[in-house]
Amino acid sequence: MESVNSPANTGPRKTPLNALHRRLGAKMVNFGGWDMPVEYPSSGGLVAEHHAVRNSVGIFDVSHMGDIRIRRSNKSGGALEAAQYLTMNDASKLALGQAQYSAMLYPQGTFVDDVIVHRLGEDDYLLVINAGTREKDINWVRQNTSKFNCMVEDLSDIYTQLAIQGPRAIDVLSKLTDANLGAVKNYWFTHGTVCGLANTLIARTGYTGEDGFEIYIPADVTTSERVWIAVIEAGKEFGIVPCGLGARNTLRLESKMALYEHEISDTINVWEAGLDRYCKMEKGDFLGRTALEKARAASLPRTLVGLEMVERGIARDGYRCVDQSGEVVGVVTSGSPSPTLRKNIALAYVPPALSALGTSIYVEIRSQKCKAQVVATPFYKRIRKAIAP
Amino acid sequence: MAYPTQYRYTKEHEWIDAKGDLATIGITDYAQHELGDVVFVELPAAGSKLVKGKTFSSVESVKAVSEIYAPANGEVVETNATLQSKPESINNDPHGAGWLVKINLSNASELSSLMDAAAYEAYIAEKQKEASA
């Protein structure tokens, strides 16, 4: 198998599709130690890519994401117990073929990483993790599962992960697989033949707030490029475009999906991040639970809110939030123009007293105070098709 | 896109076009391409002073903020008001309709230290080679 990341290579890591991105003329950036496409001028750039996903379909290379499999080592295995201890959502509720948004926490109730937990089989789980935290995550999982009767495998380098996202994603992918995608519900997955590759994991998941699928294929360059090109061909009639991390960021921000080191980190806890509904305190013991119990009884120092700029100006990651008198009250975790809403939006941590909808908050933009107001989130929510009676 | 031969260029990718003491300033085609779709432009007020090498404006795309540096000393006599409603002019016509400010040069001879079009094109060719390496 060709490897694009031989140990002798220094510098940023590359996905198996790196050469293809460069051939397409993508603008590349270093993202969490990975050389990744940020936008494709040939697709029309970030804004065109964003609209393609909202209105039709786009394809993303997300092979930099990591994958950790936890499964039983013998018949009386403890993979579920390990997953329950490691993650905050209730993995025991997962049916075969189902996935859930969750997170791994430090004992302090803050974030190691957010993850998607897939139940692959009987006592067999796949955790999909972030790129920038891969090594930390795998070490964390190994350290904290040694007391359970399970095996931990790092599968990050064996998969090329493609995200096909947008309302027409199902039409595109259906042309390339025998799997009945219509029967796969949101946050469920199936296995099927995709472009001749048998037993491919096909999950109805994504990071765009739109319908879509993520597929996991072998990580060799030839196969990865062949499948990418097949998806592009199949998607031509729907106007599919390659999409980079720039559009991925605006799409996830509009949908208020957390980004590690921004909305969640090792200093932010679950309650502050507002991820309560994915944290199941009643399921039994898990890492972080004791601290979260205490934190729940105390008052929160800060909470995550959505902001919309009222005055001219774009709030950016790391800009300070101030009150009318200029006193610093918080910080922007992510901020950008929203291509869908055509407004400048942001997520920010502020004191709960300033979190009510309509509250005026100011963002310091190059030493100027720019007025913003707290708005409802997510900023964008897709309209789901009504279920036929 | 061709780089006008009468303009002078900076390493930070601004252009300046002087006619006597009056000069127009903008960002280059290379700069707008690197930045992507421009969505917001902040300009100085007429009458404010530009100091060579210091920032006087910022141009923002969806993903990034780019500071713009003054290619020469001078005083702003006019700003491109159309950029507020049509920031995309910077992408569509960076060397023309996408201009940022007009200034009265303090010393027109300062421009001789800047690159001409041929030198600038060689400079960005080198940059592009680095990026694709």
Each residue of B92-111: pLDDT tens digit?
999 999 999 999 999 999 99
Confidence at residue A5, expressed as pLDDT on a 0 to 100 scale? 65
Q: Which of B37, B40, B132 sits opposite A47 (nearest CB)?
A: B37
A322 lies in the same domain as A203: no
Q: Is residue A1 scored above 50 in pLDDT?
A: no
Q: Is residue B28 scored above 80 in pLDDT?
A: yes
What CATH number is given for B8-125 in this structure?
2.40.50.100
Confidence at residue A370, expressed as pLDDT on a 0 to 100 scale? 97
Report, as an integer, the average pLDDT of A261-273.
Answer: 97
Confidence at residue A287, expressed as pLDDT on a 0 to 100 scale? 98
Report, as an integer, the average pLDDT of B13-30.
Answer: 97
Please give, rounded to a whole number of angstroms, the shortest distance from the CA of A165 to a CA of chain B: 20
The answer to whether residue A100 sits within a structural domain is no
Q: Which of B36, B58, B131 sits opposite A45 (nearest CB)?
A: B36
CA atoms of A379 and A145, how far apart (whole Å): 38
Q: In chain B, what residues touch A38 (CB-CB under 8 Å)? A: 63
Domain residue limits at A355: 299-380
Q: What share of chain B is helix, strand, coil (3-state, %, to 5)?
A: 25, 35, 40
- Please measure the distance between the N-terminal and C-terminal CA atoms of chain A and give it in whole angstroms: 50
Contact A312 B37 (CB under 8 A): no
Name the closest residue on chain B to residue A337, using Cα atoms: B62
The answer to whether residue A133 sits within a structural domain is no
B59 DSSP assignment: E
pLDDT band at B130 (very low <50, low <70, confident <90, very high): confident
Sequence-distant (6+) residues with CB within 8 A of B8 are B15, B16, B17, B18, B71, B111, B114, B115, B116
B91 DSSP assignment: H
Report, as an integer, the average pLDDT of A101-115.
Answer: 98
Name the closest residue on chain A to residue B36, using Cα atoms: A45
The answer to whether residue A8 sits within a structural domain is no
Contact B39 A314 (CB under 8 A): yes
Each residue of A274-322: pLDDT tens digit?
999 999 999 999 999 999 999 998 889 999 999 999 999 999 999 999 9
Q: Give how far the C-alpha of residue A289 lies from the chain's centroid of Cα atoms, to the nearest Å.
A: 23
Each residue of A119-160: pLDDT tens digit?
999 999 999 999 999 999 999 999 999 999 999 999 999 999
Confidence at residue A352, expressed as pLDDT on a 0 to 100 scale? 96
CATH code for the domain of A357: 2.40.30.110
Confidence at residue A227, expressed as pLDDT on a 0 to 100 scale? 98
The answer to whether residue A152 sits within a structural domain is no
Confidence at residue A6, expressed as pLDDT on a 0 to 100 scale? 58
Q: In chain B, what residues touch A27 (CB-CB under 8 Å)? A: 34, 36
CATH code for the domain of A35: 3.30.1360.120
Q: Is residue A8 scored above 60 in pLDDT?
A: no
Number of domains in chain A: 2
Given a contact cutoff of 8 angstroms between Cβ atoms, the answer to whether A12 and A35 are in contact is yes
A221 lies in the same domain as A308: no
Given a contact cutoff of 8 angstroms between Cβ atoms, the answer to whether A122 and A83 are in contact is no
Q: In chain A, what residues touch B129 (CB-CB under 8 Å)? A: none
Contact A339 B132 (CB under 8 A): no
The answer to whether residue A262 sits within a structural domain is no
Contact A314 B33 (CB under 8 A): no
Q: Which of B40, B42, B62 sits opposite A246 (nearest CB)?
A: B62
Each residue of B47-78: pLDDT tens digit?
999 999 999 999 999 999 999 999 999 999 99
Name the residue ranges covered by the structural domains of chain B: 8-125
Confidence at residue A383, expressed as pLDDT on a 0 to 100 scale? 83
pLDDT band at B129 (very low <50, low <70, confident <90, very high): confident
Name the closest residue on chain B to residue A313, using Cα atoms: B40
Q: Which of these three, A254, A285, A308, is where a domain ends? A: A254
Q: For testing the chain B interface, which of A252, A253, A336 should be mutated: the one with the most B CBs within 10 Å?
A: A336
Please give, rounded to a whole number of angstroms, the shortest distance from the CA of A337 to a CA of chain B: 6
Q: Is residue A7 scored above 60 in pLDDT?
A: no
The answer to whether residue A320 sits within a structural domain is yes
Please give, rounded to a whole number of angstroms, the shortest distance from the CA of A25 to a CA of chain B: 9
**Of A24-33, B20-29, B124-133, which gets the smallest average pLDDT?**
B124-133
What pTM value is reported for the model? 0.94
ipTM of the shown complex: 0.88
Each residue of A209-236: pLDDT tens digit?
999 999 999 999 999 999 999 999 999 9
Q: Which residues of B touch A (CB under 8 A)?
A: 33-34, 36-37, 39-40, 42, 58, 60-63, 65, 131-132
